[in-house]
Amino acid sequence: MILNPAVRDLAEGAKWLIISGMSESNKPEALHPAGEPNREPSEYPAPHRVETMGGAMQVRWEEDSGISPHGMLTYFFEFLQTSGIWQEFVEQCPLSYSSPNAPTKAEILGTILCGVLSGHRRYAHITGMRGDSVLPKLLGISCLRSEDSIRRAFAGVDEEALTLWMDRQTLKTYAALLEGDWVLDLDATVKTLYGRQEEARVGYNPMKPGRPSHAYQVMVLAAAKLVLNVDVQAGNLTASEYAQPTLWGWLDAHERKDWPTFLRGDIAHGNEKMMQGAEERGVPYLFKLRQTKGVVQLITRLAGRGTKAGWRAAGQGWEGVESELQLQGWSRSRRVIVLRRKLKARPAPEERNSEQLLLPGWAVEHKGGDWYEHAVLVTSWGEKDLLAVSQAYRERADSENMFDELKNQWGWTGFSTQDLKRSQLMARMVALIYNWWSLFTRIASGEKHGEAITTRPAFLHGIARHTKHGQQNYLSLSSLHGKSKKIANLLTAISAWLGAFRKSAEQLAAGAKWSMLLRRIFHHLDPPSATANGSPAGQLAAANCRI
């Protein structure tokens, strides 16, 4: 058989490659590479000398010996265990795996819990705590899972099932507090994005103008500073009209006795569609108005009347007067509260208008020559005391502090994925864990809400060493906090209070147990349900342990 010269040369070349590739053991090398070599060191380095400003140190690296930098989470985990809220959270999770080698639901959720509590904002940060061997023991799981396992866990889960699960868990967190008088704060915040995430749109973004973002439409239980709901939407949907379907759906899903005393929001909510929706459902509201032409004319008219307008004290240097106003586009006339505060000097105008002088901050010259800044509120709330109405709106600033905390100290600025579903899920998980942590720290602080920047060093950061002797588990804790002794006594008192609560509520169902615990924590909001002596804050104050 005569071969084509080109084919013959190719065959000879292949034969030479096979012969030359034979090893000393006469075995050919693999045709495919074995992959990248494992670059992870197999052992710790040998003991060595390190020079420091304080002198030479002999450094020795050791295998993990049951140490955790977050050992003080022990007391928080006792709070979750006593309340029963963690068990229900894990059991009702719609996540499921078919492989026997896959992680469990408790491992996935436990890793997310520890990451969010530690202040992580990205999935990659989870790698920094995977070597912790104490936290898994406290959570009753085998280990903390990798960032890839957490990121991909909910990718294939039905979005409706996830929404229903988170709705139930979030509602349980605050449901017992809806029986009294409370205020529902409405607001939106922006999460700047730096990739090609779903619904990453350019919209209102004061920190990074022109950057794509997501809009977080949030509902807050004001006095308790708990997040009721958060919707993650496209970045160009920051207007209040995009939050209204969720708001009205939430109200319609609850009995009227659980509705808020009134809705409260900033100038983004003081519009016809929002007010008309509230009026149709019979829920009062308190909003701020924008500086529109009709509002400016009302301020100018009152300024021309001077003291004859009937200004009354409204607190914190403000004076107010009640009036009626119907702007263009409004379906009816509504009650407004015009507030003014005297300025020390005439502000410099940015531009002059021949008809009137109106400066930034709504500063207007009143009859008599004094200059005042102004704010205008619109309300259907039945409260007649002008001081109470103006003070109620000023208290809305607490919600702004919550957004700052959730974005800068928790994970609302991170945990981004390509799909909106998982971004929404992580935003709601962060809010839920924030609620749990806030409730735990309120056991110690009573009526005062502590931000994570102060509560984490006190109640989370502490070295723990786990040992076992004679079938008994021991945990040795060390805190570097300046008030470590006081914190140690406080956490011990909290543990004792939780133990007493377990004994008193052991016959109650899981749902009733959580409701009772919630009422005792917020005894100052619901006095008939828990006395000061029965509340944790009252007992810890009596023990001189509060910080």
DSSP per position, 497-510 = HHHHHHHHTTTS-H
Give the Cα separation of 277 and 249 in Å (integer). 12
Q: What is the DSSP string of 140-182?
A: TSS-PPPHHHHHHTTTTS-HHHHHHHHHHHHHHHHGGGGGS--
Q: Which residues contact 83 (CB under 8 A, 6 or more apart)?
A: 513, 514, 517
Domain shared by 165 and 258, yes or no: yes
Q: Where are the alpha helices (DSSP H) in 446-542?
A: 452-459, 484-504, 510-521, 536-542
> Phi/psi of residue 201, each to 5°?
-120, 155
Residue 517 lies in a domain: yes
Confidence (pLDDT) at 23: 47
Beta bridge partners, 92, equal: none
Domain shared by 86 and 137, yes or no: yes
Q: Coil, strand, or helix at residue 409?
A: coil
CA dihedral 335, 338, 339, 344 (to 10 degrees): 180
Neighbours of 1 (CB within 10 A): 2
Residue 456 lies in a domain: yes
Burial annotation 302-320 (CB, 10 A radius, 16+ → b, else e): bbeeeeebebeebeeebbb
Domain shared by 375 and 327, yes or no: yes
Residue 57 lies in a domain: no
* Structure tokens belonging to residue 153: 């866990």
Which domain does 331 fall in, by range?
A: 288-380
Q: Which residues contact 275 (CB under 8 A, 6 or more apart)?
A: 285, 287, 334, 378, 380
Give me the amino acid identity at 459: F
Residue 6 lies in a domain: no
Domain shared by 262 and 402, yes or no: yes
Domain shared by 491 and 454, yes or no: yes
89-95 contact pairs (CB < 8 A, 24+) = 89/169, 92/165, 92/168, 92/169, 93/165, 94/157, 94/158, 94/161, 94/162, 94/165, 95/153, 95/154, 95/157
Domain shared by 473 and 418, yes or no: no
Residues in the chain: 547
Q: Coil, strand, or helix at residue 315?
A: strand
Give me the amino acid identity at 160: E
Neighbours of 168 (CB within 10 A): 12
Q: Using an 8 Å Cβ cutoff, are 283 and 257 in contact?
A: no
Q: Coil, strand, or helix at residue 45?
A: coil
Q: Which residues contact 476 (CB under 8 A, 6 or more apart)?
A: 464, 465, 467
Q: Using an 8 Å Cβ cutoff, are 71 and 133 in contact?
A: no
Give me the amino acid identity at 503: K
Confidence (pLDDT) at 62: 77
Domain shared by 183 and 252, yes or no: yes
Residue 215 lies in a domain: yes
Burial tier of 48 (Cβ tally within 10 Å: 0-12, 13-18, 19+): exposed
Total domains, the chain: 3
To the nearest 5 percent, what fractions of the chain are helix, strand and coil? 40, 20, 40
Q: Using an 8 Å Cβ cutoff, are 125 and 102 in contact?
A: no
Residue 42 lies in a domain: no
Domain shared by 452 and 493, yes or no: yes
Strands 262-265 and 285-288: parallel
Domain shared by 233 and 316, yes or no: no
Confidence (pLDDT) at 7: 45
Domain shared by 205 and 259, yes or no: yes
Return the half-sphere exposure (C-beta side, CA atoms, 13 A cut-off) of residue 393. 29
Q: Which residue has the tokens 């997310």?
A: 112
Give the Cα separation of 412 and 405 in Å (integer). 9
Domain harbouring 308, CATH code: 3.30.200
Angle in degrees, CA 411, 166, 127, rounded to 5: 35
Can you say whether residue 147 is alpha, beta or left, with left for phi > 0 and alpha for psi between -120 and 50 degrees? Answer: alpha
Domain shared by 262 and 166, yes or no: yes
Tens of pLDDT along the chain (547 residues) come to 444 555 455 455 544 444 444 444 555 555 555 555 656 777 888 888 999 999 999 988 877 668 899 999 999 999 999 999 999 999 999 999 988 889 999 999 999 999 999 999 999 999 999 989 899 999 999 999 999 999 999 999 999 999 999 999 999 999 999 988 999 999 999 999 998 899 999 999 888 999 999 999 999 999 899 999 999 999 999 999 999 999 999 999 999 999 999 999 999 999 999 999 999 999 999 999 998 999 999 999 998 887 888 899 999 999 999 999 999 999 999 999 999 998 888 776 655 444 444 444 578 888 777 888 999 999 999 999 999 999 999 999 888 889 899 999 999 999 999 999 999 999 999 999 999 999 999 998 877 888 999 999 999 999 998 888 878 888 899 998 999 999 999 999 999 999 988 888 777 776 788 888 888 888 766 543 444 345 555 555 544 445 4
Burial tier of 177 (Cβ tally within 10 Å: 0-12, 13-18, 19+): buried
Domain shared by 109 and 96, yes or no: yes
Q: Using an 8 Å Cβ cutoff, are 281 and 248 in contact?
A: yes
Residue 393 lies in a domain: no
Q: Where are the alpha helices (DSSP H) in 67-141?
A: 73-83, 85-91, 105-117, 135-139
Confidence (pLDDT) at 63: 74
Residue 298 lies in a domain: yes
Can you say whether residue 329 is alpha, beta or left, with left for phi > 0 and alpha for psi between -120 and 50 degrees? Answer: left
Q: Using an 8 Å Cβ cutoff, are 547 and 487 in contact?
A: yes
CA dihedral 134, 139, 145, 151 (to 10 degrees): -140
Angle in degrees, CA 160, 117, 193, rounded to 5: 60
- What's the pTM? 0.86
